[in-house]
Copies of this chain bind each other. A is one copy, B any other.
Amino acid sequence: MILVGQYDSPVTRRVAIALHHYGIPFTRDTRSIFGDAAAIGRISPLTRIPALVLDDGEVLIDSASILDHLDEQAGDAALIPRSGPQRRRVLQMTALAQGTLEKVAAVVYERHFHPPEHRSAVWLDRCLGQARAGLDELTKRLTTPYACGAALTHADVMITTLIWYMQDRMDEVLSPSAHAALISLAEHCEALPAFRAAAPSDFEAMPRS
């Protein structure tokens, strides 16, 4: 099994953490979607990461779809219940964190692909406001010790990789005081073996603008 993607992508890292947590062995293809787009495009048609190449050659795309497959393999060990209100709760917290990430990434891309004088202030304000609202809502809904209760779930993984990305790349709406609970959860999770095993290496970074 080959995981395609660099760990500065929170959704790629999210899949890697689940693989480590489930004890599923895998290797990595760390070529870059920016530096080596053609090579990634031959594996993943949309030139997006993560992609997971199964042992029979089938290629899965999209982090949520990949995890749906891995969760099925994991059975009762899955980081989400198979059904019911607790599944809904984990999916909702995960969607909030991923939606927040998408707004943060929109800001990063706007800044990366446009020189300062060409950036849309309206778009940036809109995305920054949505990202801040996402962090506020996640903070409001968070429980202890984990995001959705007593056990680690996909929500904790998504929140932790989101916080890592923001601290690395765009932290202006991440408040050390207002979002202290999220930051504290992320610190706790980063110390767990599966998260440490999926720590980004120095070479894994999107080109800076």
Chain A residues in the interface with B (C-beta under 8 A): 41, 45-48, 60-62, 64-65, 68-69, 72, 83-84, 87-88, 91-92, 94-96, 98-100, 103, 109, 113-114, 118, 120, 122-123, 129-130, 133-134, 136-137
| A120 and B83 alpha carbons, distance in the complex (Å) | 44
Residue of B nearest to A94 (CB): B65
7 more A-B contacts (CB under 8 A) besides A45-B133, A72-B84? Answer: A45-B136, A46-B100, A46-B133, A47-B130, A48-B99, A60-B92, A68-B87
21 example contacts (A-B, Cβ-Cβ < 8 A) are as follows A45-B133, A45-B134, A45-B136, A45-B137, A46-B96, A46-B137, A47-B133, A61-B99, A65-B88, A65-B92, A65-B95, A68-B87, A68-B88, A69-B91, A72-B83, A72-B87, A113-B120, A114-B114, A114-B120, A118-B118, A118-B120
Residue of B nearest to A69 (CB): B88
- Chain A interface SS verdict (over half): helix
| A87 and B84 alpha carbons, distance in the complex (Å) | 19
- Which residues of B are found within 8 Å of A41, using beta-carbon distances? 133
| A83 and B82 alpha carbons, distance in the complex (Å) | 10
A177 to B: closest C-beta gap in Å? 19
| A134 and B62 alpha carbons, distance in the complex (Å) | 13
Residue of B nearest to A131 (CB): B46
